[in-house]
Structure 1
């Protein structure tokens, strides 16, 4: 007989994912056990297996959910009927806000993707490539001449991604600079440069939506 799922199955599953993400981000995937996750969730190991058959399944769902949500949001932003620079600012703002809000998931994606089976890694990498392609398209619109040589297109997009992604190894949203301001400064720095940017405190150039 098929077991009927409880009405709160989805909520409990999400709670497990949230707590597992905290453990993986702070303790590391290799050192975290399903017993650790069960204890963090206030349940038994056997009960945990009702939701996830193994630790790798937990890891995959954490990173897949995080980057799939990101890809969906950023795709919608790039399709907006506004200028390329405005879409660029909104893209960076959304990326930074999601990474700040879901910092544990972001760190798990950065550090633990290598522990997934090849097929699952391929699915996640496909979504990551989608994000890079979206950014490459925006940069082409902003400065077509600069992005004309094929050989520079991916490097320019990856320079931006590196700036954002690695920031969250040290950045805390509770610090002196809020996510909206951080995003605005990243956008302005990348588009206008450092020496001649003219970016002053209090001048977010509408980047902190």
Structure 2
């Protein structure tokens, strides 16, 4: 007889993912054992195996959930009625707001992706590419004469914007919504007009 799924299964799974992301971020994937993960999640080792049969499966679920939800949020920004500059600001702000509270997942993404098998990496990289393409399309509209016809420069510009956003948590840990709004404005204005625009 199949085991029934508890009513709070999804909630417990979410708690496990959040706690495990912190362990992987602090200890590193290689040093984290299932015993340590279970202890940090506040459950027994037997119970964590009820949800995940290995730490590899847990790592993939952390990153798949995080990147899929991030991709859906960023690529779902409503750009209707916005000119390219407004679209850039709205997207940059949404990325920063989506990053809020996800520092551990962000760190695990940077350090743990390579620990997964190629077929799983391909799924996760696909989510990343969707976001890169979304932002790239906006930047091409911002500077159609200089970027739209030069894919190398367009990619460099796109990755430079992501670079400014991806490490925000390093020098501004615990930044609240107001700080993220301010930084989104700075990044957008600097991207649009260079340092004099600040």
TM-score by length of 2: 0.93
Equivalent residue, structure 2, for 1:82? 82
Q: Residue 16 of structure 2 corresponds to which residue in structure 1?
A: 16
Task: For 2:120 and 2:49, locate their aligned partners in 1 and report how far apart those are by CA, in whole Å.
Answer: 20
Runs of at least 5 residues in structure 1 that lack an aligned partner in the other structure: 200-209
Is 1:122 the counterpart of 2:122? The answer is yes
Alpha-carbon contact 1:78-1:138 (below 8 Å) kept: no
The answer for the alignment partner of 1:179 in structure 2 is 180
User: Could you give the per-residue CA deviations for residues 52-97 of structure 1, whole angstroms, max 9, x where no partner exists?
Assistant: 1110111111111111111111212164332221111111111112
Between the aligned partners of 2:174 and 2:70, the Cα distance in structure 1 is 18
- Asked whether the 8 Å contact 2:73–2:98 carries over to 1, the reply is no
> Alpha carbon RMSD of aligned pairs, Å?
1.6
| Cα deviation digits, residues 25-78 of structure 1 (max 9, x gap) | 111111111111111122111110111111011111111111111111121216
- What is residue 100 of structure 2 aligned with on the other side? 100
User: What secondary structure, in the 3-state scheme, does the structure 2 residue paired with 1:11 have?
Assistant: helix
Question: Offset at 1:170?
Answer: 3.5
Matched with 1:145 is: 145
Q: State TM-score, norm by structure 1.
A: 0.88
- The equivalences for 1:1-209 within 5 A come to 1-77=1-77, 79-147=79-147, 148-174=149-175, 178-194=179-195, 196-197=196-197, 199=198
Partner of 1:203: none
More helix by share: 2
Aligned partners of 1:56 and 1:116 also within 8 Å: yes
Tell me the matched-pair count.
196
Runs of 4+ in 1 over 2 A off after TM superposition: 78-81, 166-171
Name the CA distance, whole Å, in 2 between partners of 1:141 and 1:86. 11
Q: Which runs of 5+ in 2 are unaligned?
A: none
Q: Which residue of 2 aligns with 1:205?
A: none
Counterpart of 1:204?
none
CA distance in 2, matches of 1:79, 1:185: 20
